[in-house]
A and B are shown apart, each in its own frame.
Chain A
Amino acid sequence: MIRLLQNIGSNTIDQIWRLGAGARLFGLTLISSAESIRRPRLVTKEVYATGVLSLVIISVSAFFVGMVLALQGYHTLQKYGSSEAIGVLVALALVRELGPVVTALLFAGRAGTAITAEIGLMKATEQLSAMEMMAVSPISRVVAPRFWAGVIALPLLAALFSMIGILGGYLVAVPLIGVDEGAFWSQMQANVDWQFDIVNGVIKSVVFGVACTMIALFEGYDAPPTAEGVSRATTRTVVTSSLAVLALDFALTSFMII
């Protein structure tokens, strides 16, 4: 019994400590960003690693998500005789929710794990210590460029996700099911709002970009320098990022809708 209480207590303290350490790293990253601004090449190299290399998984998933949305949407909408609204349904679902959220989840799995493993291994092989000893700050040279790369890449990937998703939805709805093409596009155009739908979706993806990248960086930076430590940190990156994205999505949506 006492042991149980002890465990709960020590885990809680541990989690709070990690939260603090993460926040500290976030702060340090922000104030160490001058180097990234002065040398944009450091950032573009990481945008390639996190963004460009995630293109395949993002585009393929988006295509399928869009197609499934159109199928399911048509199935329900036709009961009410409003199957022309399928375009709006697909577009709104993607731009408001699925684009940012699914992209962030895939991003955590594809790019987040890569960041955690890379930084964890750099730490395990003393590369970060070596930088410290050379009087080069690893936070401004390694952490900050990756952070900004993630924050830039995720909204772009989310936008691409929504676009390809809509294309997938179109292919199912119009050529396959036979919904009227004009109605599909014009209803979408009339009912998707720039400020309320698109800008809010972009805000979400920026927030997710900050959260996912920072979690991945922190887990890598904090990983014990062993094979087991890095592997556990990588797992934690996916779990924590996914939960953070879903929770943040709820919080942001409730602010945006009310």
Chain B
Amino acid sequence: MTQNIVEIDKLSFGYNRKLLHKGITMSFPRGKVVAIMGGSGTGKTTLLRLIGGQFKPKAGEVRVDGQVVHKQDREGMYQLRRKMGMLFQQGALFTDLSVFDNVAFPMRELTDLPETMIRDLVLMKLNAVGLRGAHDMMPTELSGGMARRVALARAIALDPDIILYDEPFAGLDPISMAVTCDLIRTLNDALGVTSIVVTHDVEETFSFADYIYFVADGVVAAEGTPDDLRNSTLPFVHQFVHGEKDGPVPFHYAAGDYKDQLLGPDA
């Protein structure tokens, strides 16, 4: 049993010719909450999908529990994915199923548990996220924060070893945000799982993460515990942590000369 449950080794990936990741190395120790931070469009979510084996890396590899993800066949990939639970950005609840059936979905599809046991398990999972009372609602009736929590209950339905969170705070009000922060930490410690959180919310992340990676320009720009990073003198980290609009990350996307373009013959 390796000490790191997930290891990313010199990983490169890009959708077309342009590389999004240029040799990223990260490790995720068992039982910890590790955050991956960075601006929008730096490929953080893609990184989660690479861990989940939905994309193949161009170079390098991702290892989950010692096994190289992209070298698995279909069956091996499904075995690996059963160790992971993923919380999608918008929850990705099945809109044609009720809250109860959503959480029961992985149990019904992947196990032979009797329906009475599934019922108890689902209610326990929903209770863990505080939504046992909402079990007969439809996903469309839920608020954004509630949908996210139901999705979390579904992600932990089969007791995974790793929980992947894709932007768990995006679009939540302050109360839901605090609830979600608290849930990530408590679930991590109560279930003994490893949590990988992709996010760009500085304050929340710093309050609960054990270790943080900063991704910028396709590489790991900085890493460390929240305290290390808060006191970091690296200009990029300083700009990000303090939310300054200009700095190493420019306000303007790379463009030609402004005057030339305005006065030029065609746009």
Contacts and interface: CB of A to CB of B under 8 A. Distances in A.
Contacts of A141: 109
A193 interface: no
A130 B81 contact: no
Interface string A114-155: 000000001001110110111110000100000000000000
Contacts of B78: 135
Contact of B109 (A125, A127, A132, A134): A134
Interface residues of B, number: 22
Contacts of A125: 90, 92, 95
Interface in B64-113: 77-79, 81-82, 84, 86, 88-90, 92-95, 105-106, 109-110
B46 to A, nearest CB: 12
Contact of B82 (A122, A129, A135): A135
A141 B109 CA distance: 9
A122 B49 CA distance: 18
B15 to A, nearest CB: 13
Contacts of B77: 135
Given A125-B90, A126-B89, A126-B90, A133 B54 contact: yes
Contacts of A126: 88-90, 92
A122 B94 CA distance: 8
A contact residues, range: 10 to 19
A87 B54 CA distance: 59
A134 B88 contact: no
Contacts of A134: 81, 105-106, 109-110
Contacts of A133: 52, 54, 81, 84, 86
Contacts of B106: 134, 136
A63 B52 CA distance: 53
Contacts of B79: 135
B241 to A, nearest CB: 29
A239 B93 CA distance: 31
B109 A129 contact: no
B267 to A, nearest CB: 19
A209 B84 CA distance: 38
Interface of B: 49, 52, 54, 77-79, 81-82, 84, 86, 88-90, 92-95, 105-106, 109-110, 151
B88 A129 contact: yes
Nearest to A49: B96
A129 B87 CA distance: 11
Interface of A: 122, 125-127, 129-130, 132-136, 141
A37 B94 CA distance: 22
6 contacts: A125-B92, A127-B92, A129-B92, A130-B94, A135-B78, A136-B105
Listed from nearest, the 9 A-B pairs whose CB atoms lie closest are A126-B92, A130-B92, A135-B78, A135-B81, A133-B86, A126-B88, A136-B109, A134-B106, A135-B82
B160 to A, nearest CB: 10
Contacts of A122: 95
Contacts of B105: 134, 136
Contacts of A132: 52, 54, 81
B88 A130 contact: yes
Contacts of B54: 129, 132-133
Nearest to A118: B96
B126 to A, nearest CB: 17
Contacts of B82: 135
A134 B53 CA distance: 12
Nearest to B82: A135
A136 B102 CA distance: 13
A214 to B, nearest CB: 22
Given A134-B105, A135-B77, 10 more contacts: A125-B92, A126-B89, A127-B92, A129-B92, A130-B92, A132-B52, A134-B106, A135-B81, A135-B110, A136-B105
